[in-house]
Amino acid sequence: MSKIKFTGTNIAAAILVLFYFFPWVSMTPLSMSGASITSNGVSPGLFAYFIHGGQRFFMILAILVPACGALILYQNISGDKKFSRYFKLAHIIPAAYFIIGIIGLYFKMKPDIPAGMGGMYNDMSSHLRDMSPGVTDVLTFGVYISLIAAIYLALVSFGKIKDKEYYKYSPVADKPENPVVNKDLPPTPDPQP
Protein backbone atom coordinates (compact mmCIF):
# COMPACT_ATOMS: atom_id res chain seq x y z
CA MET A 1 0.00 0.00 0.00
CA SER A 2 2.92 2.34 0.59
CA LYS A 3 3.87 2.25 -3.14
CA ILE A 4 0.48 3.56 -4.23
CA LYS A 5 0.45 7.31 -4.63
CA PHE A 6 -2.93 8.99 -4.81
CA THR A 7 -2.04 11.48 -7.52
CA GLY A 8 -4.52 12.92 -9.97
CA THR A 9 -2.93 10.89 -12.75
CA ASN A 10 -3.34 7.60 -10.89
CA ILE A 11 -6.93 8.42 -9.94
CA ALA A 12 -7.80 9.36 -13.53
CA ALA A 13 -6.13 6.19 -14.86
CA ALA A 14 -8.08 4.07 -12.36
CA ILE A 15 -11.29 5.79 -13.48
CA LEU A 16 -10.52 4.86 -17.10
CA VAL A 17 -10.13 1.21 -16.13
CA LEU A 18 -13.14 1.10 -13.78
CA PHE A 19 -15.64 3.04 -15.89
CA TYR A 20 -14.91 0.85 -18.93
CA PHE A 21 -17.38 -1.55 -17.31
CA PHE A 22 -20.05 1.09 -16.60
CA PRO A 23 -22.71 2.07 -19.16
CA TRP A 24 -21.46 4.34 -21.93
CA VAL A 25 -24.42 4.37 -24.31
CA SER A 26 -28.06 3.99 -23.35
CA MET A 27 -30.87 3.80 -25.85
CA THR A 28 -34.40 2.72 -25.03
CA PRO A 29 -34.00 -1.01 -25.71
CA LEU A 30 -30.36 -1.44 -24.70
CA SER A 31 -27.51 -0.10 -22.62
CA MET A 32 -23.89 -0.77 -23.54
CA SER A 33 -20.71 -0.44 -21.51
CA GLY A 34 -17.27 0.01 -23.02
CA ALA A 35 -16.69 -3.73 -22.68
CA SER A 36 -19.91 -4.60 -24.50
CA ILE A 37 -19.10 -2.07 -27.22
CA THR A 38 -15.76 -3.81 -27.76
CA SER A 39 -17.33 -7.27 -27.78
CA ASN A 40 -20.03 -6.14 -30.24
CA GLY A 41 -17.30 -4.72 -32.46
CA VAL A 42 -15.53 -8.09 -32.51
CA SER A 43 -18.68 -10.16 -33.01
CA PRO A 44 -21.58 -7.88 -33.93
CA GLY A 45 -24.39 -10.43 -34.31
CA LEU A 46 -27.49 -8.49 -35.36
CA PHE A 47 -25.54 -5.22 -35.22
CA ALA A 48 -23.86 -6.36 -38.46
CA TYR A 49 -26.79 -4.77 -40.31
CA PHE A 50 -26.01 -1.36 -38.82
CA ILE A 51 -22.24 -1.23 -38.35
CA HIS A 52 -19.60 -1.79 -41.00
CA GLY A 53 -15.81 -1.67 -41.47
CA GLY A 54 -14.60 1.58 -39.91
CA GLN A 55 -17.35 1.69 -37.31
CA ARG A 56 -16.58 -1.86 -36.17
CA PHE A 57 -12.88 -1.07 -35.97
CA PHE A 58 -13.59 2.03 -33.87
CA MET A 59 -15.76 -0.08 -31.54
CA ILE A 60 -12.90 -2.56 -31.10
CA LEU A 61 -10.52 0.33 -30.34
CA ALA A 62 -12.52 1.04 -27.17
CA ILE A 63 -10.22 -1.51 -25.49
CA LEU A 64 -7.45 1.11 -25.71
CA VAL A 65 -9.12 3.24 -23.02
CA PRO A 66 -8.68 0.79 -20.10
CA ALA A 67 -5.40 -0.50 -21.57
CA CYS A 68 -3.93 3.02 -21.42
CA GLY A 69 -5.24 3.47 -17.88
CA ALA A 70 -3.72 0.14 -16.83
CA LEU A 71 -0.37 1.05 -18.42
CA ILE A 72 -0.28 4.37 -16.54
CA LEU A 73 -1.16 2.68 -13.23
CA TYR A 74 1.39 -0.10 -13.79
CA GLN A 75 4.23 2.28 -14.50
CA ASN A 76 3.37 4.70 -11.68
CA ILE A 77 2.89 2.02 -9.02
CA SER A 78 5.64 -0.44 -9.92
CA GLY A 79 8.20 2.10 -11.08
CA ASP A 80 9.11 -0.27 -13.91
CA LYS A 81 10.07 1.70 -17.02
CA LYS A 82 9.48 -1.21 -19.41
CA PHE A 83 6.73 0.67 -21.30
CA SER A 84 8.15 4.19 -20.93
CA ARG A 85 8.06 4.90 -24.68
CA TYR A 86 4.26 4.42 -24.67
CA PHE A 87 3.67 6.39 -21.47
CA LYS A 88 2.99 9.79 -23.11
CA LEU A 89 0.76 8.18 -25.75
CA ALA A 90 -1.21 6.44 -23.00
CA HIS A 91 -2.08 9.87 -21.61
CA ILE A 92 -3.32 11.23 -24.97
CA ILE A 93 -5.06 8.27 -26.69
CA PRO A 94 -8.14 8.04 -24.37
CA ALA A 95 -9.00 11.73 -24.81
CA ALA A 96 -8.56 11.50 -28.58
CA TYR A 97 -10.72 8.35 -28.69
CA PHE A 98 -13.58 9.94 -26.74
CA ILE A 99 -13.51 13.24 -28.65
CA ILE A 100 -13.43 11.54 -32.06
CA GLY A 101 -16.09 9.07 -30.93
CA ILE A 102 -18.48 11.74 -29.66
CA ILE A 103 -18.07 13.83 -32.83
CA GLY A 104 -18.58 10.71 -34.98
CA LEU A 105 -21.66 9.74 -32.99
CA TYR A 106 -23.03 13.26 -33.41
CA PHE A 107 -22.89 12.97 -37.21
CA LYS A 108 -24.12 9.37 -37.13
CA MET A 109 -27.19 10.37 -35.09
CA LYS A 110 -28.31 13.01 -37.60
CA PRO A 111 -31.05 11.59 -39.83
CA ASP A 112 -30.21 11.17 -43.52
CA ILE A 113 -32.45 13.41 -45.59
CA PRO A 114 -32.15 13.11 -49.36
CA ALA A 115 -32.03 16.42 -51.20
CA GLY A 116 -34.60 17.33 -53.83
CA MET A 117 -37.47 15.18 -52.58
CA GLY A 118 -40.07 17.92 -52.72
CA GLY A 119 -41.61 20.34 -50.28
CA MET A 120 -43.72 17.81 -48.38
CA TYR A 121 -40.73 15.61 -47.60
CA ASN A 122 -38.67 18.60 -46.51
CA ASP A 123 -41.40 19.70 -44.08
CA MET A 124 -41.60 16.19 -42.69
CA SER A 125 -37.81 15.93 -42.45
CA SER A 126 -37.56 19.13 -40.46
CA HIS A 127 -39.87 17.57 -37.87
CA LEU A 128 -37.81 14.38 -37.99
CA ARG A 129 -34.71 16.34 -37.04
CA ASP A 130 -36.51 17.74 -34.02
CA MET A 131 -37.60 14.31 -32.83
CA SER A 132 -34.34 12.41 -33.32
CA PRO A 133 -32.23 11.94 -30.20
CA GLY A 134 -28.97 13.80 -29.89
CA VAL A 135 -25.61 12.67 -28.61
CA THR A 136 -26.30 13.87 -25.09
CA ASP A 137 -29.51 11.83 -25.05
CA VAL A 138 -27.74 8.50 -25.60
CA LEU A 139 -24.44 8.98 -23.74
CA THR A 140 -24.43 8.09 -20.05
CA PHE A 141 -22.41 9.04 -16.98
CA GLY A 142 -19.73 6.43 -17.74
CA VAL A 143 -18.65 8.29 -20.87
CA TYR A 144 -18.76 11.70 -19.24
CA ILE A 145 -16.67 10.68 -16.22
CA SER A 146 -14.22 8.79 -18.45
CA LEU A 147 -14.02 11.82 -20.77
CA ILE A 148 -13.19 14.12 -17.86
CA ALA A 149 -10.48 11.71 -16.66
CA ALA A 150 -9.08 11.36 -20.19
CA ILE A 151 -8.95 15.13 -20.72
CA TYR A 152 -7.23 15.51 -17.33
CA LEU A 153 -4.58 12.97 -18.38
CA ALA A 154 -4.04 14.73 -21.71
CA LEU A 155 -3.66 18.12 -20.01
CA VAL A 156 -1.17 16.65 -17.52
CA SER A 157 0.77 15.16 -20.44
CA PHE A 158 0.89 18.51 -22.23
CA GLY A 159 2.02 20.24 -19.04
CA LYS A 160 -1.08 22.43 -18.69
CA ILE A 161 -2.01 20.95 -15.29
CA LYS A 162 0.50 20.13 -12.58
CA ASP A 163 -0.14 16.76 -11.00
CA LYS A 164 -0.01 16.50 -7.22
CA GLU A 165 -0.51 13.91 -4.54
CA TYR A 166 -3.92 14.22 -2.89
CA TYR A 167 -3.56 11.69 -0.10
CA LYS A 168 -0.46 10.31 1.55
CA TYR A 169 -0.72 6.93 3.19
CA SER A 170 0.94 6.88 6.61
CA PRO A 171 0.72 3.74 8.68
CA VAL A 172 -0.22 4.25 12.31
CA ALA A 173 2.29 2.84 14.76
CA ASP A 174 0.72 0.97 17.65
CA LYS A 175 1.93 2.31 20.97
CA PRO A 176 0.68 0.39 23.96
CA GLU A 177 -0.67 2.52 26.75
CA ASN A 178 0.52 0.12 29.48
CA PRO A 179 3.76 -1.50 28.38
CA VAL A 180 4.32 -5.02 29.62
CA VAL A 181 7.26 -5.22 31.99
CA ASN A 182 9.19 -8.45 32.15
CA LYS A 183 9.70 -9.14 35.85
CA ASP A 184 12.36 -11.79 35.26
CA LEU A 185 14.91 -9.23 34.07
CA PRO A 186 16.93 -7.20 36.57
CA PRO A 187 15.94 -3.55 36.72
CA THR A 188 18.01 -1.19 34.66
CA PRO A 189 19.77 1.53 36.59
CA ASP A 190 18.76 5.11 35.97
CA PRO A 191 21.48 7.11 34.24
CA GLN A 192 22.93 9.70 36.58
CA PRO A 193 23.97 13.04 35.11
How many percent of the chain have pLDDT more than 90? 22
pLDDT at residue 3 in the model: 65
With residue 32 as reference, give the H or E element that holds it: strand 31-33
What would the pLDDT profile of 94-132 be if each residue is shown by its tens digit?
Answer: 999 999 988 888 887 766 655 555 555 555 555 655 666
Distance between first and last Cα of the chain: 44
pLDDT at residue 134 in the model: 74
Query: Is 151's pLDDT higher than 80?
Result: yes
What would the pLDDT profile of 70-87 be if each residue is shown by its tens digit?
Answer: 999 988 888 777 878 888
The residues pairing with 33 across neighbouring beta strands, listed in sequence order, are: 23
What would the pLDDT profile of 58-73 be if each residue is shown by its tens digit?
Answer: 888 889 999 999 999 9
CA distance 169 to 78: 16
Query: Is 166's pLDDT higher than 70?
Result: no
Query: Is 16's pLDDT higher than 70?
Result: yes
Query: Is 188's pLDDT higher than 70?
Result: no
Q: Torsion angle, CA of 80/81/83/87, rounded to 10 degrees?
A: 110
